[in-house]
Amino acid sequence: MFARARLAQGVHLRSSSFLSRRLASTKSLKETLQEVIPAKQEQLKRLKTEHGQAVVGDVKIENIIGGMRGLKAMLWDASVLDPNEGIRFHGLSIPDCQKVLPPAPRGKEIIAESMLWLLLTGQVPTAEQTRQLSRELAEKGELPKFVEDLVDSLPKDLHPMTQLGVGVAALNKESSFQAAYEKGMKKSEYWTHTFDDCINLIARLPALAARIYRNAYRPGSPIPAINKDLDLVGNYSHLLGYGENESLTEYLRLYIALHGDHEGGNASAHTARMYTISPFLDIRKITEHPTFQDLVGSTLSDPYLSYSAALFALAGPLHGLANQEVLRWQLAMQKEIGTDISNENIKDYLWKTLRSGQVVPGVARYGHGVLRNPDPRFIALQEFCQTRPELKNSPIIELVNKTSEVAPDVLKEHGKTKNPYPNVDATSGCVLYHYGFTEFKYYTVIFGVSRALGALTQLVWARALGLPLERPKSYSMDALEKLVKQ
């Protein structure tokens, strides 16, 4: 179902016949997934039987000691990151997704529910299916009282990401998977309980994340009830206290959908869900055939424990803290150069940063570990800014735009950046800041809400395919030197 021919069709969803065929179903998300799983199970069985001994690629010492960077040893079925084209979700580019994935009522941007459906099933949902899923998530979105009490008891100055990880882990008290496993269940039933946990967790993330925000930055302010008529991110914005700002809500919808998944090699996805390639006869077919393993999830930890681990990986400054670092750097530049936002002043500030031994404006923000062209997510957010007069006239957004024009040539001349073009983080936090969402430390929590869409959907697939415990072979330095000599 997910083979290259079908993926190629997905890129051309503008075709009315294909689109009508994809949008004809009114089945629920779980029913749709139940139809998809058998074909994937058969595909995995065939790969193991027919190609289990085929060899792809070589592992070098630099791969082993260099964090496996660039090593073709993982596969993530929901999305593929091409160095030149950027991210694709089941074959669909970001512009494709913006054209075909249903928005919120009266909205224009992709919403989390339509991206969740695509990531989990490889299919485009109807507007009706998306609305039904929104309703289901809203009805399951209330936090248990014990989690509310736990979060309220945490120190208000404890980092928001730490609080989010604690809250998510505590939700495992109500894990359907854990309860069923303790009673005894067939392996074929693992995915259904995992699915239920994942949907419940995604549903509750807005209430949990919003409670953390209110406690830390708006203590004593009442938290409104979940509105059953709103989509997931509409409710998130509402609970945060920004529901009246429709522009910010639309931006959050776009931000969370675009950040929902970004291949499997990043630290947070890798922690919760690692998919390791089974050998294929043809290396070119790697992106067609999924065989998944996950790191924490492979131990049969429930989705709450697995995703809490991913959140703690996301909290690192080399990963999810990117947008706040970029914003700090841009604000420091704005303070120094004042209102004269000229190319020459920006160029001087860039060189000042580089000559001081710093990166621009932080590790892997300008430039990306995989991408070799401008990040399509950055382009999508910039296009959003161009549709909003208040953003087009915003000094901080103007500075972002001009920096993105000047920085590539400076970084090329500097010669130490493989990709000198802006990453999505070059603008994402700056838009939040413009709208008055100025609490830097909280930005990664929004990232954490979004990345659940990819990590958790793939955990369902790991259970559906019955994948084993991840246990790669490790070597000491002495052992590596011995291997090299041999």
Query: Which of 194, 355, 381 lies closest to 273 in space, CA to CA?
Result: 194
Cα torsion angle, 327, 328, 332, 338, sign: positive
Cα angle 60, 66, 68; round to 5: 70
Summarize pLDDT for 295-326 with one digit per residue, the tens.
666 667 889 998 998 888 887 766 557 777 88
Orientation angle between helical segments 29-51 and 112-121, nearest 10 degrees: 30
Question: Is the pLDDT confidence value at 485 over 50?
Answer: yes
Summarize pLDDT for 269-291 with one digit per residue, the tens.
444 443 333 322 232 333 333 33
Q: Looking at residues 186-215, what average pLDDT do you find?
A: 96
Question: Is the pLDDT confidence value at 68 over 90?
Answer: no
Confidence of residue 87 (pLDDT cuts 50, 70, 90): confident
What residues are labeled active site? 319, 368, 425
Query: Which of 88, 33, 158 lies closest to 377 in space, CA to CA?
Result: 88
List the structure tokens of 158: 């404890």
Q: Looking at residues 435-454, what average pLDDT do you find?
A: 92
Summarize pLDDT for 209-223 with one digit per residue, the tens.
999 999 999 999 999
Q: Which pLDDT does position 267 carry in this prediction?
A: 44
Which residues touch 171 (CB under 8 Å, ≥6 apart)? 144, 147, 200, 201, 204, 208, 304
Query: Which of 20, 197, 229 lies closest to 132 in space, CA to CA?
Result: 229
Q: What is the DSSP string of 459-472?
A: HHHHHHTTPPPP--
Average pLDDT score over the chain? 81
Q: Which pLDDT does position 195 carry in this prediction?
A: 96
List the structure tokens of 175: 């894990």
Question: Is the pLDDT confidence value at 154 over 80?
Answer: yes
Q: Which pLDDT does position 91 carry in this prediction?
A: 87
Task: Select the more confidently predicted residue: 75 or 409.
Answer: 409
Q: Looking at residues 421-425, what average pLDDT do you find?
A: 80
Task: Select the more confidently predicted residue: 73 or 459.
Answer: 459
Orientation angle between helical segments 322-337 and 395-414, nearest 10 degrees: 100
Query: Which of 288, 265, 262, 267 lies closest to 275 in space, CA to CA?
Result: 265
Q: Which pLDDT does position 57 carry in this prediction?
A: 65
Confidence of residue 292 (pLDDT cuts 50, 70, 90): very low
**Ordered structural domains, the chain, with CATH:** 1-315+451-486 (1.10.580.10), 322-434 (1.10.230.10)
Residues 377, 320 contacting (CB under 8 angstroms): no
Query: Beta strands 79-82 and 86-89: pairing type?
Result: antiparallel
List the structure tokens of 274: 């690692």
